[in-house]
Structure 1
Amino acid sequence: MNTKYDGPIVDAHQHFWALARRHHPWLAPGVRVPHRYGDYEAIKRDYLPADYRRDAAAHDVVATVYVEAEWDPATPLDETRFVTALAREHGLPNAMAAQAWLDAADVAEVLAAQSRFELVRSVRHKPAHAHASSGNTLMSNGRWRDGYAQLAQYGLHFELQTPWHHLREAAALARDFPDTMLIVNHAGVPGNRTASTLHGWREALAPLAARPNTVVKVSGLCEAGQPWSVEANRDVLGTLHELFGAQRLMFGSNFPVDGLFLSLDALIDGFKTLVSAWSAAEQRAFFHDTATRVYRPVDLSNPSARTPR
């Protein structure tokens, strides 16, 4: 008999923003950048800890991980200061994936500065699309890889968001830098749910699964023009469970972005249904233990408060 999880949750992938500050170019009025979800105008509104707590009220979310949100790249440390201030005032978030452009001239200084913040556990720099001349992304660029090589020095993980057909480059990255944990965002971005796409996505993920320094965030699984549903994601969860095991998977809401498709309550409840056939220990790993191990959440607002262990 399947039993739905009712324990503590660490949301390993979410965002906050205060748009009056105009620090997110893609969220500015009148701006529309290409987005895999299509029209994202509905999320051009403030989203802060009180909003998240309201949306998650039906579930026992004990900690969250803020992921950089395309803040103005000229001032990446200002995003970290903004997030740290939120954490001190509101108790959320409890860990952070900060912005750092790995091919920038000042990457060493930025990584060193980011690593000194109490919440920062990782950095993200999307490697963009393949260059027409080589078919490769920045993951194969020497200057970018030189920046990546510095992550271990500062004890930082790397957050990878890239379409699934670039994941073989990611497997080479994990192989070449075994001391750096590579966190695959949005389940490797499978895209649509056609049989051919899911087959290609699985084949691309398999080499990453063979690398022990990789984990996967099961987040951002919505599709433009399609409603989110349990059935649409059942094969995705099954494949991830088979390849990585629950101890290398973690839940992420991608809120407020996935709020374009459904409520946070419905999203969490849907994932609880998707993993309900897993053992109790596996469900807890997926919703809590993996993220706790990877991100070591803290409560900056109350150092004596209970934090996940």
Structure 2
Amino acid sequence: MTSTDLHFVDAHHHLWDLGHCNYPWLMAKGKMRFFGDPGPIQKNYLIDDFLAESPDYRPAKSVHIQVGVAATDEVKETAWLQSQQPYPHAIVAATDLRAKKLQTALEAHGQSDRLRGFRQILGRHELEDKKHGSDALLKDTDFLQGLSLLAAQGLSFDLQMVPPQMDQVVALFKQVPTLPVVLCHAGSPWDQSQAGLRSWREGLEKFAALPNTYCKLSGLGMFNPHWNEAALRPIILQVLDTFGPTRVMFGSNFPVDKLYNNYGCLWQTYDRVTANFSTTERQQMFCTTAENFYRI
């Protein structure tokens, strides 16, 4: 299969205009993040930049995931994304699901008809999570109520977490069985030792046993900055074995993963690793799963 034959949805990417919204982490020069030095991407990243990443690999559709905008600019970010063309086709926005005026916030975001769901990060990396206390959401009844409200309004949730949180995550999402949930970045396999990958795999199996759960292969460069096809192959195949092609989607996590490799190489890797799957299975994992989940 040649690169021009690959028809795909990029189910996880970012855009930002530093002159339009306030992105604190993109404006904090010289500050390291859990994924490394953000310096090379601390500048505008617009549609034209996204489309220029590869002459051979261009998504048929795309999904934009919230990217750490200041709380005061969350609705503004959604409206800005709504104004962009021709991408993204779906918007996963940011809001605090614990907020007392959550319904008002959902209505404001909902003025953008490409809104499909929300992400409120539960875990990024152990060291950074200790500073932010994001895992406190797992035991917060207001957060649970917020998730229930998303389900009631036909919205979805993008879940970013780390493997040690999995038991609590499973207990939480058992309580909202009608909410469509997709696990970002393959569940963040930070520990790639034999024991770490075993724990990650066992966690995936627990999560996959829940109804309405999906998994997104994205952001893998954050966990192995020096990745190549051989390194990603077992991660990709494990996710596909656990969830099956009808519950797996692919994303680039660009421009964050641009820190580690180029767009074409990433999609070529996804293409090669899945070459032995049937045409129907590949259509599902590269397009249909994301199209159905995000209703695009």
Q: Same fold (TM over 0.5)?
A: yes
C-alpha distance in 2 between matches for 1:149 and 1:254: 27
Aligned equivalent of 1:230: 229
C-alpha distance in 2 between matches for 1:18 and 1:136: 29
Unpaired runs of 5+ residues, structure 2, are none
Judged with a 3 Å threshold, the aligned counterparts in structure 2 of structure 1 residues 225 and 233 are, in CA distance, closer, same or farther, namely: closer
Correspondent of 2:122 among 118, 121, 127: 127
Q: Please tell me whether the aligned partners of residues 79 and 109 of structure 2 are also in contact (alpha carbons under 8 angstroms).
A: no
Aligned equivalent of 1:94: 89
Unpaired runs of 5+ residues, structure 1, are 298-309
Aligned equivalent of 2:276: 277
CA shift at 1:296, angstroms? 2.1
Aligned equivalent of 1:48: 46
Aligned positions of 1:102-181 closer than 5 A:
102-128=97-123, 137-181=136-180
C-alpha distance in 2 between matches for 1:26 and 1:238: 33
Aligned positions of 1:15-26 closer than 5 A:
15-21=14-20, 23-26=22-25
If the length of structure 2 is used for normalisation, what is the TM-score? 0.91
CA shift at 1:29, angstroms? 4.8
Aligned positions of 1:254-293 closer than 5 A:
254-293=253-292
Q: Please tell me whether the aligned partners of residues 163 and 203 of structure 2 are also in contact (alpha carbons under 8 angstroms).
A: yes
C-alpha distance in 2 between matches for 1:145 and 1:155: 16
Aligned equivalent of 1:68: 66
C-alpha distance in 2 between matches for 1:91 and 1:226: 30
CA shift at 1:22, angstroms? 5.1
Q: Please tell me whether the aligned partners of residues 250 and 290 of structure 1 are also in contact (alpha carbons under 8 angstroms).
A: yes
Q: Deviations over 1:114-144 (max 9, x none)?
A: 2342111110111246779x99641221121
C-alpha distance in 2 between matches for 1:113 and 1:250: 28
CA shift at 1:105, angstroms? 2.4
Kindly tell me the number of residue pairs found equivalent between the two proteins: 290
Which is further off, 18-27 or 59-68? Answer: 18-27
User: Which SS does the other structure have where 1:151 is aligned?
Assistant: helix
CA shift at 1:7, angstroms? 3.4
Q: CA RMSD in A?
A: 2.2
Give the number of the structure with larger relative contact order, counting CA–CA contacts within 8 Å between residues 6 or more apart. 1
Question: Match of 1:238, as an amino acid?
Answer: L
C-alpha distance in 2 between matches for 1:184 and 1:271: 18
C-alpha distance in 2 between matches for 1:262 and 1:280: 27
Q: Please tell me whether the aligned partners of residues 164 and 190 of structure 1 are also in contact (alpha carbons under 8 angstroms).
A: yes
